[in-house]
Amino acid sequence: MSVQETSNQENAAKRTPRIAVIGGGMSGILTAIKLQEAGMTDFTVYEKAASLGGTWRENTYPGLCCDVPSHMYRYSFEPNSEWSHRFSPGAEIMAYFDGVAKKYDIEKFVKFNSEITCARYQNGKWHLESGDETLDVVDIIVSAAGVLHKPVYPDIDGVDNFAGAVFHSARWNHDVPLDGKRVGIIGTGSTAVQITADIIDRVEHLSLFQRTAQWIFPQENPEFSEKEKDVFRNIPGAMDDLYANLTNLFASTFGEAVIGDEEQMKLIQDACRANLEDSVQDPELRARLTPDYQAACKRLIVSDGFYAAIQKPNAELVTDQIERVEAGGVRTKDGRLHELDVLVLATGFDGHSFMRPMELIGKDGLNLDDFWADATPAHRSISLPGFPNYFMLVGPNSPIGNFSLIDISERQLAYVMQLIDLWRGGEVNEISAKQESMETFNATIKDAMKDTVWVTGCQSWYLDKNGNPAMWPFSFGKFCEDMTAPNLDEFDLVS
Ligand code: NAP
């Protein structure tokens, strides 16, 4: 049974739900736009911080940019002819989201500095609390809380004893000068690589503490010329064509490689290996930079500046493991003290928290922490049995590692909007996935995961505590197809 069969234009406008959107990042802004477009204005976006932007507000580290091409990393309905680079800097992306939010007049719906600490389902409504205060009572929650928002701090002795400045990459302290300083970076993920390439010429000395080497896919980042921008500005459809081409390219190459296309994976692996061999001259350094696992098992890093940076005379790749942090710097297990003025913890995020630490209490007191005690199952990444009218964007097993997250979020929201329309129709008061549907979905996911690169033997933030990647093991085409319309047989619909 499909939504189209049970709902129609006539009944879709019968009643107006009160809706809470949790989070004012990319997905929250999107939801606010689409709710208005659908004629629903009785909603509030709850944002824990003082401004919109989510990950692009929180991450301001030097060198920040998006490794998805800018003309693909944008709302489908808001092309931007002014992107400066193929991969534009973080501040430009933040300005893009600000501009879109202003254009659609989103801020009037946003309650800033309002972290929802608990959402409790009682008598057919969601009660939203912030500390001791009840902020709202709503019919529907759209959780747009994001994925990588909870920084992971390393479990290393002595970090608090460091006499210089120490901060996580997502909590960058811009008051701390870097010029002429001795800077240490712990971590070699996308973040550390971008910081390294950006700051190397400013610092006196950079120590990059590598626990695991990373594969790096070479990718130039040219500026768009005025001539190119003129094409985007003046030729109707030029940006949409580029968007479609980039999406198809990603889907048919990288998107297929990570889920088992050996030919595509070989091209990626070969490109990474050639990049390393062509870029790093010293065989000893090259050996230390060579990973012992398959490319793209961890999130593949894209950079055209890292290898050059790490070979500069003021750069040092430290592969001796860290013993502890002391007042003067980082001591490695070989006994050496790496003296530092600034220590950056580019140690990543907990990719399995989703909307937590918010407490979520569903029907009959069902607590999400119990429901997700061992893993984070969800039906089609969106709905949870026992948590009616609670819908997630970019929830567990979304295709976060393969494609533009904005496209993913748009498609999930279009699916959610069809469920909301069902509620609006008046015949259904509670919508939540059936337990057995979720179990079938998750069993299918688990089975398909066996063919993916993410389980080929590396440690990454994709893996949950059981070693299962919270990823999408199918093609982009299948995701699009699955998101076209909800199959209502998969849902408990209570009138
Ligand atoms: P990450 O990929 O999780 O990398 C964390 C790094 O810290 C790893 O090198 C890890 O080593 C190291 N580490 C963690 N704990 C450590 C410890 N106790 N001792 C020593 N090393 C430790 O984090 P990230 O670089 O912040 O990137 C996270 C994700 O954000 C990316 O995968 C990507 O999805 C997203 N991101 C995207 C962009 C973009 O351009 N779109 C840019 C930045 C980030 P191990 O490898 O040994 O675990």
Query: What is the overall mean pLDDT for the chain?
Result: 95
Mean pLDDT of 93-99: 98
d(CA 415, CA 429): 17
Atom of ligand 1 nearest to the CA of 169: 26
Residue 90: band (very low, low, confident or very high) from pLDDT cuts 50, 70, 90: very high
SS3 state at 5: helix
What pLDDT score was predicted for residue 7? 47
What DSSP element (H or E) covers 308? helix 306-310
Mean pLDDT value of segment 2-16: 57
- pLDDT tens profile 314-360: 999 999 999 999 999 999 999 999 999 999 999 999 999 999 999 99
Pairing mode, strands 19-22 and 140-143: parallel
pLDDT tens digits, 207-243: 999 999 999 999 999 999 999 999 999 999 999 999 9
Q: Give tens-digit pLDDT for 103-145.
A: 999 999 999 999 999 999 999 999 999 999 999 999 999 999 9
User: How do strand 315-318 and strand 205-209 relate by DSSP bridges?
Assistant: parallel
pLDDT above 90 covers what percent of the chain? 95
Are 33 and 7 contacting, i.e. CB atoms less than 8 angstroms apart? no
Give the Cα separation of 119 and 101 in Å (integer).
26
pLDDT at 9: 47
- In whole angstroms, give the CA distance from residue 80 to residue 70: 9
Site residues for ligand 1, CB cut-off 6 Å: 65-67, 148, 154-156, 169, 186-192, 194, 211-212, 299, 322, 346-349, 459, 461
Determine the residue of 190, 254, 289, 349 to mutate for testing ligand 1's pocket, defined as the one with the most ligand atoms within 8 A of the Cβ atom: 190
Task: Report all structural domains of the chain as residue ranges with CATH numbers, in order of start.
Answer: 3-150+350-494 (3.50.50.60), 159-215+259-345 (3.50.50.60)
8 Å CB contact between 243 and 83: no
For residue 41, pLDDT beyond 50: yes
CB atoms within 10 A of CB 125: 15
Q: What pLDDT, on the 0 to 100 scale, is given for residue 14?
A: 77
Ligand 1, residue 148: give the atom nearest the CA.
30
**φ, ψ dihedrals at 79, nearest 5°:** -65, 155
Over residues 476-490, the pLDDT tens digits come to: 999 999 999 999 999
Structure tokens at 232: 């985007």
Q: For the residues 267-295, what does the mean pLDDT come to?
A: 98
Is the pLDDT assigned to residue 441 strictly greater than 90? yes
Residue 12's pLDDT is 46
**Distance from residue 453's CA to the centre of ligand 1 (Å):** 18
pLDDT for position 8: 45
| Band of residue 403 on the pLDDT scale cut at 50, 70, 90 | confident
**443: which 2 tokens?**
């069993």
Helix, strand or coil for residue 450?
Answer: coil
Distance, CA 313 to ligand 1 centroid (Å)? 25
Residue 84 confidence (pLDDT) above 60: yes
User: Rounded mean pLDDT of 180-207?
Assistant: 98
Give the residue whose CA is nearest to atom 23 of ligand 1. Answer: 348
Q: How far is CA 392 from CA 145, 178, 355, in A?
A: 8, 40, 9
Predicted pLDDT of residue 2? 52
Calculate the alpha carbon distances from 3 to 185, 411, 430 in Å: 51, 16, 15
